[in-house]
Structure 1
Amino acid sequence: MKHARVIVDGQVQRATERDGQVLLPDGRLLAPEAVQWLPPLEPVAPPRTIFALGLNYADHAKELEFKAPEEPLAFIKGSDRVLNGHRRTTRRPAGVNFMHYECELAVVIGRTARRVRRGDAYDFIAGYSVANDYAIRDYLENWYRPNLRVKNRDGATPLGPWLVDRGDVPDPMALALRTTVNGKVTQSGNTKDMIFDVPFLVEYFSGFMTLRPGDLILTGTPDGVVDCRPGDVVVTEIEGLGALMNTIEGSE
């Protein structure tokens, strides 16, 4: 099943998907453009941890002229405030020369995980979503040490539209990814090309810190990133999970 959080009539509501439309608990079936989309995860306390992977596709590492990492290049995103919803806008700061999307498989932890073995990793996953983890290259100090402004800006990580149950994704390591900018395909790849796959990442992170329900793992992006300008409509799509739309706006 595909789950969402939307605002209708000024109220936050849980919703599901039916034939490409939004099904509300009261039975109303609405078009996607008739609701205001939120990230599909319920708020949790304490706030969730968001793990992000850099250079987790060999072709992306090559694109950036870096050697593929021998262990996960991981960092923490500091707050839920970075998350944004489907069909929302993301701001491009003034004076920036290169801001690009990153289409990523998002893994949502479903139950407390500590020292999980690789073979048991999927049992600890609630489901999957699509993330677009925008980055600003101007702010980057070092690809192996991303600074805060690159990946921790308010609203710069759209997530959604749906949270898809784990059981409805037979093989998360064989999903096609693609990105379009203003309708033109600019990025394509497949999760099978990850250097560190989902079971490895659950084992890796849970090996040194406890994962909690609602925690997120953003698994990296393949090659094909391009600069996004104000007015650009960016759609990051993953097979079976949905198409996440976002529009770039300029700074005030």
Structure 2
Amino acid sequence: MTRTTAGARKLYQQVVAAVGASIERGQYKPGQRLPSERDLAEEFSVSRPTVREAMLALEIRGLVEARHGSGIYVTDTPPVEAAAPDLDIGAFELTEARVLFEGEAAALAATTITEEQLVELEAILVEMVEENAGDAKGEQADRRFHVAIAEATRNAAIVTVIETLWDLRYRSPLCRHMLDRARLVGVKPRIDEHRRLLDALKARDPQRARKEMRDHLERVIEGLLAATEIEAVERARTEVAKQRTEYARRRVT
């Protein structure tokens, strides 16, 4: 498979299509373990996050399943005609775009932000701390924080782009699936990183603001990689199952 023969299809979709076709042809049989993530990345000349997105997309479609400490396996009874929903954009791809756009937006905002907007960001950061401490997903305040920085650029086009990138987190089934997994293992907005970004904006330092935003979002990618590791997800599932069992036992007794 090459980029030229695959046309404009997204990289992760190329991997999904190729592995799905191999399953359909019987190259990978029910119950068989797929090659390792590293081997697949080398085979298709793509990155590790791209392979991770592809495996999660195949799992959503019911073609493969993750087995604790073992790897990715073809399901014992894969669908005869696997559903192929429009999975759109994965969390890695989306966050990579945010690194580019939001990094430059932060640099511009550092030169145009007002005192009132800095006060607003301080208040939003307090809300983010409260959301992290509670049961909330912590994304409402996180979204407002990033959009407020975009608004500080005084450029409506930039605001629209960044709002769209955030909204894609909820509209794309694949992205939503990956983020749900991340939350399952406790990934939440990093307050210290947002604080350093806010300090750079207060200093009216565009280079520092750009760096802090890019560093923050690149660590988001690293966190997603860790959160979507098979072992981490399975440990979280096991813990949830234990809690449900304990809850059921308490109700009975």
TM-score normalised over the length of structure 2: 0.25
Return the structure number with greater strand share.
Answer: 1
Return the structure number with greater helix share.
Answer: 2
| Greater length-normalized contact order (CA 8 Å, ≥ 6 residues apart) | 1
TM-score normalised over the length of structure 1: 0.25
